[in-house]
Amino acid sequence: MPRALITGGAGFLGSHLCDRLLREGFEVVVMDNLITGSTDNIAHLIDNPKFRFIHYDVSEYIYLDGAIDFIFHLASPASPVDFTTKPIQILKVNSLGTHKALGLARAKGATFFLASTSEVYGDPLVHPQVEEYLGNVNPVGIRGVYDEAKRFAESITMAYHRFHGVNTKIVRIFNTYGPRMRLSDGRVVPNFVGQALRGEDITVYGDGTQTRSFCYCTDLIDGFYRLATSEQTGPINIGNPTERTMLEFAQNIKDLTESNSKIVFKPLLTPDDPKQRKPDITKAKTLLGWEPKVSLEQGLSETIAYFRGKI
Protein backbone atom coordinates (compact mmCIF):
# COMPACT_ATOMS: atom_id res chain seq x y z
CA MET A 1 0.00 0.00 0.00
CA PRO A 2 1.61 3.32 -1.04
CA ARG A 3 1.72 5.98 1.68
CA ALA A 4 1.40 9.71 1.00
CA LEU A 5 1.84 12.83 3.10
CA ILE A 6 -0.30 15.81 2.06
CA THR A 7 0.68 19.17 3.52
CA GLY A 8 -2.33 21.46 3.58
CA GLY A 9 -4.54 18.39 3.25
CA ALA A 10 -7.43 19.94 5.19
CA GLY A 11 -7.78 22.69 2.60
CA PHE A 12 -10.06 22.90 -0.42
CA LEU A 13 -7.86 21.04 -2.90
CA GLY A 14 -5.97 19.04 -0.30
CA SER A 15 -9.14 17.38 0.96
CA HIS A 16 -10.19 16.41 -2.58
CA LEU A 17 -6.71 14.94 -3.11
CA CYS A 18 -7.20 12.90 0.09
CA ASP A 19 -10.39 11.46 -1.37
CA ARG A 20 -8.71 10.52 -4.64
CA LEU A 21 -5.65 8.90 -3.07
CA LEU A 22 -7.74 6.86 -0.63
CA ARG A 23 -9.85 5.61 -3.54
CA GLU A 24 -6.63 4.62 -5.31
CA GLY A 25 -5.60 2.48 -2.31
CA PHE A 26 -3.16 4.88 -0.64
CA GLU A 27 -2.62 5.38 3.06
CA VAL A 28 -2.86 9.15 3.61
CA VAL A 29 -1.34 11.37 6.30
CA VAL A 30 -2.36 15.04 6.42
CA MET A 31 -0.42 17.85 8.08
CA ASP A 32 -2.24 21.18 8.30
CA ASN A 33 -2.11 24.11 10.75
CA LEU A 34 -5.71 25.04 9.78
CA ILE A 35 -5.08 28.76 9.20
CA THR A 36 -7.10 28.44 6.00
CA GLY A 37 -7.99 24.73 6.01
CA SER A 38 -10.77 23.19 8.09
CA THR A 39 -11.36 19.83 9.74
CA ASP A 40 -14.87 20.03 8.25
CA ASN A 41 -13.27 19.23 4.88
CA ILE A 42 -11.84 15.94 6.15
CA ALA A 43 -14.44 15.03 8.81
CA HIS A 44 -15.79 12.26 6.58
CA LEU A 45 -12.34 10.61 6.58
CA ILE A 46 -11.49 10.64 10.29
CA ASP A 47 -12.75 7.11 10.95
CA ASN A 48 -10.95 5.67 7.91
CA PRO A 49 -8.09 3.47 9.20
CA LYS A 50 -6.00 4.48 6.20
CA PHE A 51 -6.25 8.17 7.11
CA ARG A 52 -4.39 10.20 9.75
CA PHE A 53 -4.56 13.91 10.54
CA ILE A 54 -1.77 15.82 12.31
CA HIS A 55 -2.38 19.44 13.34
CA TYR A 56 1.00 20.96 12.51
CA ASP A 57 2.76 23.89 10.82
CA VAL A 58 5.03 22.44 8.15
CA SER A 59 7.19 25.57 8.19
CA GLU A 60 8.72 23.92 11.26
CA TYR A 61 10.86 20.77 11.30
CA ILE A 62 8.86 17.86 9.86
CA TYR A 63 9.12 14.37 11.29
CA LEU A 64 7.00 11.41 10.27
CA ASP A 65 7.71 7.83 11.23
CA GLY A 66 7.61 4.99 8.72
CA ALA A 67 7.98 4.88 4.97
CA ILE A 68 6.60 7.62 2.73
CA ASP A 69 6.23 7.13 -1.02
CA PHE A 70 4.81 10.53 -2.00
CA ILE A 71 4.80 14.02 -0.48
CA PHE A 72 2.20 16.38 -1.94
CA HIS A 73 3.09 19.92 -0.84
CA LEU A 74 -0.15 21.91 -1.04
CA ALA A 75 0.21 23.95 2.16
CA SER A 76 -0.21 27.68 1.53
CA PRO A 77 -2.86 30.38 1.82
CA ALA A 78 -3.78 31.12 -1.78
CA SER A 79 -6.56 33.73 -1.89
CA PRO A 80 -6.18 37.43 -2.69
CA VAL A 81 -7.52 38.30 0.78
CA ASP A 82 -4.65 36.28 2.26
CA PHE A 83 -2.03 38.37 0.48
CA THR A 84 -2.65 41.24 2.91
CA THR A 85 -3.80 39.29 5.99
CA LYS A 86 -1.29 36.41 5.94
CA PRO A 87 1.71 37.61 3.89
CA ILE A 88 4.41 36.28 6.23
CA GLN A 89 2.75 32.87 6.55
CA ILE A 90 2.56 32.63 2.74
CA LEU A 91 6.25 33.43 2.38
CA LYS A 92 7.26 31.05 5.18
CA VAL A 93 5.29 28.01 4.05
CA ASN A 94 6.47 28.34 0.45
CA SER A 95 10.12 28.83 1.43
CA LEU A 96 10.77 27.17 4.81
CA GLY A 97 7.86 24.75 4.41
CA THR A 98 8.97 23.67 0.94
CA HIS A 99 12.54 23.26 2.21
CA LYS A 100 11.38 21.07 5.13
CA ALA A 101 9.12 18.96 2.91
CA LEU A 102 11.90 18.47 0.35
CA GLY A 103 14.27 17.42 3.11
CA LEU A 104 11.79 14.80 4.24
CA ALA A 105 11.33 13.58 0.66
CA ARG A 106 15.09 13.23 0.32
CA ALA A 107 15.40 11.35 3.62
CA LYS A 108 12.54 8.98 2.78
CA GLY A 109 13.30 8.53 -0.91
CA ALA A 110 9.81 9.86 -1.67
CA THR A 111 8.45 11.50 -4.79
CA PHE A 112 7.93 15.22 -4.08
CA PHE A 113 4.95 16.95 -5.70
CA LEU A 114 4.79 20.76 -5.60
CA ALA A 115 1.46 22.51 -6.07
CA SER A 116 2.60 25.68 -7.80
CA THR A 117 0.38 28.21 -9.51
CA SER A 118 -0.36 30.15 -12.65
CA GLU A 119 0.52 33.22 -10.56
CA VAL A 120 4.19 32.51 -11.33
CA TYR A 121 3.36 34.03 -14.75
CA GLY A 122 2.24 37.29 -13.08
CA ASP A 123 0.29 39.65 -15.32
CA PRO A 124 1.25 37.78 -18.48
CA LEU A 125 2.53 39.32 -21.68
CA VAL A 126 2.09 35.96 -23.44
CA HIS A 127 -1.36 34.48 -24.06
CA PRO A 128 -2.23 31.70 -23.53
CA GLN A 129 0.44 30.91 -20.96
CA VAL A 130 2.91 28.16 -21.87
CA GLU A 131 5.24 26.56 -19.35
CA GLU A 132 8.29 28.11 -21.03
CA TYR A 133 7.03 31.66 -20.38
CA LEU A 134 9.16 33.23 -17.62
CA GLY A 135 6.52 35.61 -16.33
CA ASN A 136 5.88 39.29 -15.61
CA VAL A 137 5.88 39.57 -11.81
CA ASN A 138 6.21 42.57 -9.50
CA PRO A 139 8.33 41.29 -6.57
CA VAL A 140 7.49 44.24 -4.30
CA GLY A 141 3.76 44.43 -5.07
CA ILE A 142 0.98 43.14 -2.83
CA ARG A 143 0.63 39.97 -4.92
CA GLY A 144 4.40 39.42 -4.82
CA VAL A 145 4.24 37.61 -1.47
CA TYR A 146 2.41 34.78 -3.23
CA ASP A 147 3.80 35.02 -6.76
CA GLU A 148 7.45 35.19 -5.73
CA ALA A 149 7.00 32.64 -2.93
CA LYS A 150 5.76 30.10 -5.46
CA ARG A 151 8.54 30.98 -7.88
CA PHE A 152 11.06 30.33 -5.09
CA ALA A 153 9.30 27.06 -4.25
CA GLU A 154 9.75 25.94 -7.85
CA SER A 155 13.43 26.94 -7.78
CA ILE A 156 14.27 25.03 -4.61
CA THR A 157 12.30 22.03 -5.85
CA MET A 158 14.39 21.92 -9.01
CA ALA A 159 17.58 22.41 -6.98
CA TYR A 160 16.75 19.31 -4.91
CA HIS A 161 15.93 17.47 -8.13
CA ARG A 162 19.20 18.38 -9.84
CA PHE A 163 21.60 18.40 -6.87
CA HIS A 164 20.15 15.71 -4.59
CA GLY A 165 18.42 13.56 -7.20
CA VAL A 166 14.98 13.85 -5.57
CA ASN A 167 12.16 12.69 -7.85
CA THR A 168 10.11 15.89 -8.15
CA LYS A 169 6.94 17.03 -9.91
CA ILE A 170 5.71 20.60 -10.38
CA VAL A 171 2.15 21.43 -11.35
CA ARG A 172 1.00 24.98 -12.14
CA ILE A 173 -2.61 25.33 -11.07
CA PHE A 174 -4.98 27.66 -12.90
CA ASN A 175 -8.23 28.94 -11.36
CA THR A 176 -10.01 26.02 -9.73
CA TYR A 177 -13.37 25.87 -8.00
CA GLY A 178 -15.75 23.43 -6.33
CA PRO A 179 -17.22 22.32 -3.02
CA ARG A 180 -15.17 22.99 0.15
CA MET A 181 -13.95 26.41 -0.94
CA ARG A 182 -14.17 28.96 1.86
CA LEU A 183 -17.23 31.18 1.49
CA SER A 184 -15.09 34.12 2.66
CA ASP A 185 -12.27 33.01 0.37
CA GLY A 186 -12.07 36.27 -1.58
CA ARG A 187 -11.77 34.44 -4.89
CA VAL A 188 -14.25 35.06 -7.64
CA VAL A 189 -16.37 31.89 -7.41
CA PRO A 190 -17.27 32.04 -3.69
CA ASN A 191 -17.60 35.84 -3.93
CA PHE A 192 -20.06 35.75 -6.83
CA VAL A 193 -22.00 32.69 -5.63
CA GLY A 194 -22.25 33.93 -2.03
CA GLN A 195 -23.47 37.36 -3.15
CA ALA A 196 -25.98 35.88 -5.58
CA LEU A 197 -27.42 33.45 -3.01
CA ARG A 198 -27.77 36.23 -0.43
CA GLY A 199 -29.39 38.56 -2.95
CA GLU A 200 -26.56 41.08 -2.61
CA ASP A 201 -24.96 43.05 -5.44
CA ILE A 202 -22.48 40.92 -7.39
CA THR A 203 -19.25 42.93 -7.33
CA VAL A 204 -17.07 42.83 -10.41
CA TYR A 205 -13.68 44.41 -9.76
CA GLY A 206 -12.30 46.48 -12.62
CA ASP A 207 -14.26 46.86 -15.85
CA GLY A 208 -15.17 43.17 -16.11
CA THR A 209 -13.12 42.53 -19.25
CA GLN A 210 -10.33 40.66 -17.45
CA THR A 211 -10.50 36.93 -18.14
CA ARG A 212 -10.12 33.73 -16.16
CA SER A 213 -10.33 30.03 -17.02
CA PHE A 214 -12.14 27.85 -14.48
CA CYS A 215 -11.33 24.18 -13.83
CA TYR A 216 -13.50 21.97 -11.61
CA CYS A 217 -11.70 20.47 -8.62
CA THR A 218 -12.06 16.79 -9.55
CA ASP A 219 -10.61 17.46 -13.00
CA LEU A 220 -7.65 19.23 -11.42
CA ILE A 221 -7.04 16.39 -8.94
CA ASP A 222 -7.07 13.91 -11.81
CA GLY A 223 -4.29 15.97 -13.38
CA PHE A 224 -2.40 15.86 -10.07
CA TYR A 225 -2.66 12.09 -9.92
CA ARG A 226 -1.58 11.58 -13.52
CA LEU A 227 1.48 13.81 -13.07
CA ALA A 228 2.45 12.28 -9.72
CA THR A 229 2.38 8.74 -11.12
CA SER A 230 4.05 9.62 -14.44
CA GLU A 231 7.68 9.91 -15.48
CA GLN A 232 7.29 13.65 -16.05
CA THR A 233 8.90 16.31 -13.86
CA GLY A 234 7.17 19.44 -15.13
CA PRO A 235 6.32 22.16 -14.61
CA ILE A 236 3.02 21.31 -16.30
CA ASN A 237 -0.04 23.55 -16.53
CA ILE A 238 -3.27 22.01 -15.28
CA GLY A 239 -6.40 24.05 -15.89
CA ASN A 240 -9.35 24.56 -18.18
CA PRO A 241 -8.48 26.56 -21.31
CA THR A 242 -12.05 27.85 -21.81
CA GLU A 243 -11.71 31.58 -21.17
CA ARG A 244 -14.44 33.86 -19.82
CA THR A 245 -14.59 37.52 -18.89
CA MET A 246 -15.51 38.37 -15.32
CA LEU A 247 -18.68 40.06 -16.54
CA GLU A 248 -19.72 36.92 -18.46
CA PHE A 249 -18.96 34.81 -15.43
CA ALA A 250 -21.00 37.03 -13.11
CA GLN A 251 -23.95 36.64 -15.47
CA ASN A 252 -23.45 32.84 -15.50
CA ILE A 253 -23.68 32.79 -11.71
CA LYS A 254 -26.69 35.07 -11.68
CA ASP A 255 -28.53 32.80 -14.13
CA LEU A 256 -27.65 29.51 -12.41
CA THR A 257 -28.65 30.78 -8.96
CA GLU A 258 -31.78 32.45 -10.39
CA SER A 259 -30.76 35.50 -8.37
CA ASN A 260 -32.20 39.00 -8.56
CA SER A 261 -28.82 40.47 -7.62
CA LYS A 262 -27.48 43.42 -9.60
CA ILE A 263 -24.00 43.30 -11.15
CA VAL A 264 -21.99 46.33 -9.99
CA PHE A 265 -18.43 47.45 -10.69
CA LYS A 266 -15.76 48.42 -8.15
CA PRO A 267 -12.07 49.37 -8.41
CA LEU A 268 -9.51 46.55 -8.44
CA LEU A 269 -8.57 45.37 -4.94
CA THR A 270 -4.90 44.80 -5.74
CA PRO A 271 -2.55 46.29 -8.33
CA ASP A 272 -0.94 43.88 -10.80
CA ASP A 273 -4.18 41.88 -11.07
CA PRO A 274 -3.70 39.69 -14.16
CA LYS A 275 -5.75 40.92 -17.11
CA GLN A 276 -5.78 37.52 -18.80
CA ARG A 277 -5.41 34.00 -17.52
CA LYS A 278 -5.63 30.99 -19.82
CA PRO A 279 -3.46 27.85 -19.72
CA ASP A 280 -1.88 26.22 -22.70
CA ILE A 281 -2.47 22.55 -21.78
CA THR A 282 -0.66 20.96 -24.73
CA LYS A 283 1.85 19.27 -22.40
CA ALA A 284 -0.87 17.94 -20.10
CA LYS A 285 -2.69 16.48 -23.10
CA THR A 286 0.33 14.95 -24.82
CA LEU A 287 2.41 13.86 -21.82
CA LEU A 288 -0.31 12.92 -19.32
CA GLY A 289 -3.33 12.21 -21.51
CA TRP A 290 -5.22 14.76 -19.40
CA GLU A 291 -7.84 17.34 -20.25
CA PRO A 292 -10.82 18.71 -18.29
CA LYS A 293 -14.10 16.82 -18.54
CA VAL A 294 -16.55 18.67 -16.26
CA SER A 295 -18.51 21.49 -17.92
CA LEU A 296 -18.73 24.87 -16.21
CA GLU A 297 -22.49 24.49 -15.81
CA GLN A 298 -22.16 21.06 -14.16
CA GLY A 299 -19.33 22.17 -11.89
CA LEU A 300 -21.06 25.38 -10.87
CA SER A 301 -24.27 23.49 -10.10
CA GLU A 302 -22.34 21.27 -7.65
CA THR A 303 -20.58 24.29 -6.15
CA ILE A 304 -23.76 26.34 -5.79
CA ALA A 305 -25.49 23.41 -4.06
CA TYR A 306 -22.58 23.21 -1.60
CA PHE A 307 -22.68 26.92 -0.82
CA ARG A 308 -26.48 26.87 -0.37
CA GLY A 309 -25.85 24.56 2.57
CA LYS A 310 -23.34 27.03 4.05
CA ILE A 311 -25.48 30.20 3.87
Summarised one tens digit per residue, pLDDT across range 137-148 is: 999 999 999 999
CATH 3.90.25.10 intervals, the chain: 188-211+243-277+295-308
Query: Do 288 and 241 touch, CB atoms closer than 8 A?
Result: no
Indicate the fold that domain 3-177+215-240+280-288 takes in CATH: Rossmann fold (3.40.50)
pLDDT of residue 50: 98
What CA–CA distance (Å, rounded) separates 266 from 71?
Answer: 41
What one-character DSSP code corresponds to residue 195?
Answer: H
User: Of the residues 61, 121, 133, 146, which is catalytic?
Assistant: 146
Q: Which CATH number fits domain 188-211+243-277+295-308: 3.40.50.300, 3.40.50.150, 3.90.650.10, 3.90.25.10?
A: 3.90.25.10
What CA–CA distance (Å, rounded) separates 155 from 151?
Answer: 6
Query: Do 244 and 292 touch, CB atoms closer than 8 A?
Result: no
Q: Can you list the alpha helix ranges (DSSP code H) found in the chain?
A: 12-23, 80-85, 87-108, 144-164, 188-198, 217-228, 246-257, 282-288, 296-308
Closest CA to 223 of 278, 169, 296: 169
pLDDT of residue 185: 84
Tallying the residues shown for the chain, one arrives at 311
Residues of the chain with pLDDT under 50: none
pLDDT of residue 71: 98
Q: Is 121 a catalytic residue?
A: no
pLDDT of residue 271: 67
CATH 3.40.50.720 intervals, the chain: 3-177+215-240+280-288
pLDDT digits (tens, 9 = 90+) for 167-194: 999 999 999 999 999 988 888 999 999 9
Cα-based distances in Å from 257 to 92, 216, 242, 265: 39, 18, 21, 20
